[in-house]
Structure 1
Amino acid sequence: MGALAAHNHRRPVIALVCALVLSVVGLLSARHLALNANLVDLLPQSFQSVQAIHTLEQRFGAQGWVVVVGEDGDPAQLQRFAEDLAPKLEALPGIRYVEITRPSSFFRSHALYFLSPEDLKEVEHRIDARLTWEKARANPLFVPLDDDPAPSLDFSDLEKKYGGNAVTRLSSHPSDYYLDPSARRVVVLAKPEVSSADLTFSTKIVEEVQGVLRQQDLSKYGPGFRTAITGSFQKKMDQQAQITRDVAVSSTVATVLVLLYLFLHFRGALAVGLVLAPVGAGLAWTYGLVAVAYGRVNLLTAFLGAILGGLGVEHGIHLLGRYLALRGEGRSSEGATRESFTHTGGAALVSALVAALTFFVLGTSQLTAFREFGVIAGVGMLVLVLAYVVVLPALLGLVSRWGWNPRPSSTETTEAPLGRVITHRRGLLTAVSALVVVGLLTQLPRVRFDYDISSLQDQRLDSFVLDRAVNQLIGYSQVPLVVLTHSREEEAAVVRELQERKRQRGESSTVDFVAALASLVPERQQEKQAILQDIGRLLEDVPEGRLTPEQRGRLEELRRQVRAKPFTEADLPSSVRQQFQGRGGPGTGFVLVYPSADQSNGQAMRRLAKEVRGVALPDGRTAVVAGEAMVQADIFDTVSREAPYILLGSTLMVLLAMWVTLGGLRSALLCLMPTVVSLFAVLGLMPLLRMEFNYLNILVIPVLIGTTVDAGVHLITRLASPGSDFVRVYSETGKAICGGLLTSAVGFGALLLADHPGLNSIGALANVGFGMNLLIMLVTFPALLLVLSERKRRHRAVPPRLRGEHLMGRGQGPHRPTPFH
């Protein structure tokens, strides 16, 4: 590295032209990069849940709705708004159909057809027994011979028996519209043609719906009447807009903070430019490669610019800081460049290789977001080192030709007072640090994992909040799971099996109800109609004068129910038939499974997946279940399964890489020690700071392993140099370590400004990690090195005269031991 840097120093124009050409090519390639925040694309295409989603979209069309909500009107006005809006939305080319009414009244009037003939006979028997009892007591000549109670007309056992089926759930709401009078809210459901995963279509269809709403005269529905849009399509757009905004804000703030720190660190604008120019080139090259390899960025890789920028600046602080120190010692520009890149650059290369290997371990994850983050970050770390080797020496060579000489203030190393304190209080500091770490380790059992999916989707967005309110109004989930079938026989088998599983699990079941088109048309209707007619004749003889108003109302409803005629699929309300109609028309085979559990609860989605998967079809095949809940469950299972292996693999890869590059296991363990100790300390701090792991910030741990180890490499490499003095090395390297960790923290800390809670949690946890590592690197680790050095000298039993000469080092005093001497 020293030879290559010296070569570029002598021929700066060639190096800079090559760097500029590559940067232009990279920027041109990256200009079309788009953000993909689709949850389904977090998993590879090989997963069955992902393949099932694509099959579902081909056969069934879009999942979810564009939901228009009208608010602040009385029930009549709300109903009129829904009736006026529905045909206009249905006329839009991207809308398949619009739903404004519930099937409640239809299923209530035909409810008795869904009882078995045996249960209908039981109903008839109970009514007949009660009528006989009542008639007997109405006879003035009747003398009761006992005090037996009246035969019960309690049908709660039958209600409980049929309470969990689709018909009961679909008929439970009293209103025929999706309307809540108390909340003064009505809902209009528009079903688009294409999935919400197609962001271009989502944007287009939502804008068209907004255009229709703008054309409406809302004043005729009452003063203060207003509308809002939610549903899957609006939620996807809002999430995409939020992340795009977060990227812009976080990257801008990170850049400003890095610029400010670099100016304070080097106290010169030219030095700031010398550090940032290689970072800019490296990022342009990296994102050019990203554009070629992936063509888009995901939820995590969108923020890699800020993160890699912070990590890359760390190399520049070490390299330029060492260069300035050597110039202060009288070295020529080329000599200082060669020396800086030979030793400090070598340490930077080692740390970059170690970080890259750690990221590449993360790149073995099946989770697409983690894999792409690992690969891009790993490649980016190596590209940034290459950019520094190419660009920084060339710039130094160019400005030195123009007569630039560093100011004395930038080349002088001020002795850090903390170095003297550590030298004289090394034992005490080591002991106190050990006690603090042991105390934090006692908190490890309290570390928790947050299974809330809000780490992947911000549930606080207005459209998400309104969507939950709409679900409550409707009474069940807007986005059911879909079991893909090919015949009525398969539909019936799936419905029977899932209903049986729900019955067995009882209250622990995560299924609300199961519906198929065939299951909504009961069998043996002619036989049941005959029984209903018999019940109807009995009801005509009920003495209404002895009934309460409430009982008379129930009697009238029961009379209407027994008069209901048999029906076929064609007689079902259109709002029901449409939900089972795929792109191939009706009867293409779908069973809808409505979850009872909150779909933002990761643990509940994992239980739901176990409950609905593995249903055997009549031919022995396993039914395929499609839906985002299945994708979510696979994401959660993948993270839970892979996390221990990734963490272990990252640690072993770092240790092995440093063992090979540093040439000894002892040096590798010493360099890794601050990282390991700081990680355990962070884990202990998390419960105290009320922080939890989630599905996104869990990746911070391998990232910290790879990015904090370089501080130990730089410190030990400098201390191992012949004739090094602890206080001087600590003052120079400690300043660079502090700057490097701070700029790395700035890259991740920019995520603290993100509105997205998952990205925000990444920034928070990463900064706690960098802060703890900084404290250990500046205090605990140097004190421990001095203690180990002292024990080693005592073990060797060096004669007093030679020990005194050894401790004098370079004449800096008798109490400045150097660990590697």
Structure 2
Amino acid sequence: MKWTVLNKAATRWAGCISRRAGLICMASLIITMLAFQHMKTLNVSTQINALMPEGARSVRTLNKALEKTGSFAAIQIVANANSPDAVLAQLGAIKKQIDTYDWVGSSQYYEDIEVLENHKLLYLSLEELLELEAEINQAYPTLIAKNIGAFFGASVRYTERGAGLTGESTSQIDPDMLEAFKSITDTSKSNSKRYFTSDDGLTGVLIVWPKAGQDSLLDAKRMVDDSYRLIDRLNTTPEDKVALGVGGRIASQVAQFESITRDLKYGLISAIGLIILMLLFAYRSFMAIPIILIPLGCGIIITLGLTAIIIGNLNLITVFLTLILFGLGIDFAIHNFSRYQEERRKGHSQERAVQIIIHDTGAASLLAATTTALAFFALIFTEFRAFSEFGIIAGIGILIICLSMYTLQPALIVLADRIGWTINPRSKKQKLFRYRWGFNPLRYRLPILTAVIITAVSAAYFAPKIKFETDTKKLEAQMPARHVTATEQIQKVIRTGNSRAIIVAENYDDLVKIDEYFKHKIKEDDASPTIKSVSSLIDFIPNKASQLERLAIIKRLAKSAYNLRVFDPETYESSLKFLTIEALNIADLPPGLRRTYLGQSTGSQQNDFEDRDTDYLVYVDNAVNLDDARNAKAFSDDVAQFTIDGQNHYAASESFILVEMLGLMKADAIKAILLVSVTTSFVVFIFLRNFWATLIVLAPTLIGLAATVAIMGAFGPALSIMNMVILPSLIGISVDNGIHIFHRFESEGPDADILGIMSTTGRASVLTTLTTLIGFGGMITASMAGLRSLALLAIIGFLACLITTGFVLPILLEFYQKHFQRKRLQPLGSAL
């Protein structure tokens, strides 16, 4: 065999590594340290909108709403005690201290509603006020006549000529009407403050709104940690027994993130520990551990450093890339190390063995890395942001790790040899016992091929039966006990869900139309109601015309009350605050209500909100549980987009993003698998230039994927936003084994020993798959259900591909060897 350009380059590079191994290791260390500094700046977003394309309608609508509201999220500190006074005292003490923190915008545990209480007659409908006025007009002259008659001891007829009202002292007065009026004007039942407490007053909540710009996960963690430190150091007297907790949306996000990182940390530690034990058992050498794991770790760190520069953060899917890159990258390391051991046992020198792994194993690795990287880069063409970002990071990571395996790993091997590490020789008998298969698949062609056909038919039958996980609660992590307790206490006080929809009305006319639209929809939708209520400023400030009509009636009621003042001066004095009101304006409302319905920046400070040139916020509360995607879809259909007078309006909610994301996910899951499959097939074909060779390399992976799909459809797990990334990854990772085995088969020529290859390169493939399985399997005990489903699907998929590679690939290689192999190559060892 003639020397090729690649062979010459491999020889030069092997010589360079032998001479400059220390320098290469030092340069790799410096680059890794620089990358580590960037890696530390990586943020992780736990919000689902980070998984969606920014151009998605639901995301754009939510971002517009967030610009107005600042945020839907707040810190909620809950206090529970055996007396209402203790609860309020503790919340007041917490508010006083937490308001001094630099991240706090405002906080409140009560709303000043005195102005609303004083205007409660204004909140009666026009019909109710007219009815009340009619009853009072009928009753109050009779009441005057009765009082005069009682004074003189005679029957009296009282007539108010100007108003045309007449009453007899002998007439009866409806007592219910009088009681109704007194209850309206009874100041003893009037509250100037509405505390955020439960019905029994034993649980209260302090709502803490962060300043604008506190949006990152690091900010959220700092806010939650500060809140916990504050409540932990507050001293409560034993008799009060005040229990404090922190909850709310921000605290939930932090708890979810901490659960994810804890699961990843313990999963990685346990996985690395098991992999080390497996490598020690397989190679009987402690030097195998650093030689395999150090280049892999450096490659992953450099990848994450580049991710921080290029993308800036990780999302709920790409946060698991460390696991996936670990599984992808360790393949190269194990194939290199196994081949190095094999060549050294054959008697080759150190430099010669390094040259062979660079030229021979490196060629297969380059093909595998290029194929896998391009397959992942193909995911850029999917709309699902989780897929596209995953494709970018995974593609770059594969290439970087591959480069690390043919620079840093050979350098480490050279240094290890220099300090005295040697390959333990083994007898031929030991080699045959250890590497030859006890089960020969070539003797069982028919049963194996029959199993392949059954697998294909099962995949076709069960694939449509694959379920999508629609309940997001089933994907979440198990929350800490104190967070669960705090959340349960808060729900006694604040019953409005975080997932309610918000609509930004651009002007007052739109506000009125939107309010009327949903109130009418609530009345009409009896079949499958998803809307509980709608609220806006209209609920607190009636329009100008309506206010003027109602105020005119209230003034007439005030005149009637004035005429009765001598008979009950105490009631008259107490009712004056309700009967002498003026029109309500924006400035009259409590700050909390203004923030809720006008946003954090209220813009113009005009009193008349009908003439404002800024937006208004409308809230639509859900009547169904939006954790279930089916309910979320129904709510989205009713609220997310609607038309009034030919104008389209859009509502914002994270649940609407989830609905759109699930639709996009279902479409892009198939698209992603097809893109990865087509790209992988094309790249393999370009390298091999042979249709049958390409088919043989891909077949085990595709059959394994079919088996995985069949198992998912028949038994589960359900496909979800957490585990769906495994399916395209399965193709990228598993096809590497086929490439390495086929490349070794081709390099040994037409008389290649198939079983010998399967017991050497195939053995390395078994190790790579098992290490990948262990890497993902470490997550099977995670507290996060979504992470467990990811691990389970990975275990099923990689085991299926391992089995098909071990049993089907030898049969296909034998078939190819007998019927299609045309290119005769000498064994690489004899040519070099």
- If the length of structure 2 is used for normalisation, what is the TM-score? 0.77
CA gap of 1:680–1:73, structure 2 versus 1, over 3 A, is: farther
Q: In the aligned structure 2, how far is the partner of 1:485 from the partner of 1:29?
A: 47
Q: In the aligned structure 2, how far is the partner of 1:399 from the partner of 1:2?
A: 25
1:652-691 equivalences in 2 (<5 Å): 652-687=678-713, 689-691=715-717
Q: In the aligned structure 2, how far is the partner of 1:736 from the partner of 1:402?
A: 26
| Pairing 1:477–2:497 present | yes
3-state DSSP of counterpart to 1:522: coil
Q: Could you tell me which residue of structure 2 aligns to residue 275 of structure 1?
A: 292
| Pairing 1:312–2:329 present | yes
Return the offset for 1:300: 3.5
Contact 1:3 1:338 (8 Å CA) reproduced: no
1:352 to 357, 366, 369: 369
Q: Could you tell me which residue of structure 1 aligns to residue 311 of structure 2?
A: 294
Contact 1:598 1:604 (8 Å CA) reproduced: yes
1:218-367 equivalences in 2 (<5 Å): 218-219=236-237, 222-367=239-384
Contact 1:67 1:229 (8 Å CA) reproduced: yes
| More moved, 355-364 vs 276-285 | 276-285
Q: In the aligned structure 1, how far is the partner of 2:533 from the partner of 2:461?
A: 46
Deviations 1:755-776 (A, max 9, x none): 3332332222112111111122
Q: In the aligned structure 2, how far is the partner of 1:711 from the partner of 1:278?
A: 20
| Pairing 1:41–2:50 present | yes
Q: In the aligned structure 1, how far is the partner of 2:136 from the partner of 2:807?
A: 86
CA gap of 1:216–1:460, structure 2 versus 1, over 3 A, is: closer
1:14 to 13, 20, 30: 20
Return the offset for 1:519: 4.0
Q: Could you tell me which residue of structure 1 aligns to residue 447 of structure 2?
A: 428
Return the offset for 1:480: 4.3
Contact 1:258 1:310 (8 Å CA) reproduced: no
Deviations 1:53-95 (A, max 9, x none): 5554444333222111112424454345445544554565543
Contact 2:77 2:244 (8 Å CA) reproduced: yes
Q: Could you tell me which residue of structure 1 aligns to residue 471 of structure 2?
A: 452
Return the offset for 1:707: 0.8
Deviations 1:409-432 (A, max 9, x none): 399354656455323233233334
1:100-139 equivalences in 2 (<5 Å): 100-101=109-110, 116-117=125-126
Contact 2:551 2:583 (8 Å CA) reproduced: no
Deviations 1:490-523 (A, max 9, x none): 3223323344454554453443322222342224
Q: In the aligned structure 2, how far is the partner of 1:777 from the partner of 1:446?
A: 26
Deviations 1:117-142 (A, max 9, x none): 4577689999999xxxxxxxxxxxxx
Contact 2:776 2:791 (8 Å CA) reproduced: yes
- Equivalent position amino acid for 2:410 in 1: P
Return the offset for 1:268: 0.9
1:178 to 167, 171, 196: 196
- Equivalent position amino acid for 1:231 in 2: G
| Pairing 1:645–2:663 present | no
2:627 to 600, 604, 612: 600
3-state DSSP of counterpart to 1:514: strand
- Equivalent position amino acid for 1:568 in 2: L
Contact 2:779 2:788 (8 Å CA) reproduced: yes
1:568 to 584, 608, 627: 584
Return the offset for 1:528: 4.4
3-state DSSP of counterpart to 2:206: strand
* Number of equivalences: 735
Q: In the aligned structure 2, how far is the partner of 1:116 from the partner of 1:183?
A: 31
1:387-426 equivalences in 2 (<5 Å): 387-399=404-416, 405-409=422-426, 412-414=431-433, 418=437, 420-426=439-445
Q: In the aligned structure 1, how far is the partner of 2:229 from the partner of 2:356?
A: 66
1:742 to 770, 774, 778: 770
Q: In the aligned structure 1, how far is the partner of 2:526 from the partner of 2:639?
A: 15
Q: Could you tell me which residue of structure 2 aligns to residue 166 of structure 1?
A: none
* Identity of matched residues, %: 23
Q: Could you tell me which residue of structure 1 aligns to residue 570 of structure 2?
A: none
CA gap of 1:366–1:457, structure 2 versus 1, over 3 A, is: farther
Return the offset for 1:184: 4.8
CA gap of 1:460–1:592, structure 2 versus 1, over 3 A, is: farther
Q: Could you tell me which residue of structure 2 aligns to residue 769 of structure 1?
A: 797
CA gap of 1:574–1:303, structure 2 versus 1, over 3 A, is: closer
3-state DSSP of counterpart to 1:508: coil
- Equivalent position amino acid for 1:380 in 2: G
Contact 1:715 1:730 (8 Å CA) reproduced: yes
Contact 1:306 1:748 (8 Å CA) reproduced: yes
Q: In the aligned structure 1, how far is the partner of 2:427 from the partner of 2:196?
A: 71
Q: Could you tell me which residue of structure 1 aligns to residue 724 of structure 2?
A: 698
CA gap of 1:658–1:24, structure 2 versus 1, over 3 A, is: same
- Equivalent position amino acid for 1:36 in 2: V
CA gap of 1:394–1:90, structure 2 versus 1, over 3 A, is: closer
Deviations 1:272-306 (A, max 9, x none): 33323432332343233223323444434343233
Q: Could you tell me which residue of structure 2 aligns to residue 146 of structure 1?
A: none
Contact 1:26 1:289 (8 Å CA) reproduced: no
Q: In the aligned structure 2, how far is the partner of 1:117 from the partner of 1:334?
A: 97
Contact 2:255 2:479 (8 Å CA) reproduced: no
| More moved, 310-319 vs 690-699 | 310-319
Deviations 1:701-749 (A, max 9, x none): 0000111112222333333432222322222233111101111223323
1:757 to 785, 794, 811: 785
| Pairing 1:726–2:736 present | no
Q: In the aligned structure 2, how far is the partner of 1:397 from the partner of 1:581?
A: 65
CA gap of 1:226–1:208, structure 2 versus 1, over 3 A, is: same
Return the offset for 1:659: 1.3
CA gap of 1:454–1:2, structure 2 versus 1, over 3 A, is: farther
| Pairing 1:508–2:528 present | yes
Return the offset for 1:466: 4.1
Q: In the aligned structure 2, how far is the partner of 1:613 from the partner of 1:122?
A: 39
- Equivalent position amino acid for 2:671 in 1: Y
Deviations 1:635-665 (A, max 9, x none): 3343233222212111111111111112212
CA gap of 1:294–1:326, structure 2 versus 1, over 3 A, is: same
CA gap of 1:254–1:617, structure 2 versus 1, over 3 A, is: same
CA gap of 1:447–1:59, structure 2 versus 1, over 3 A, is: closer
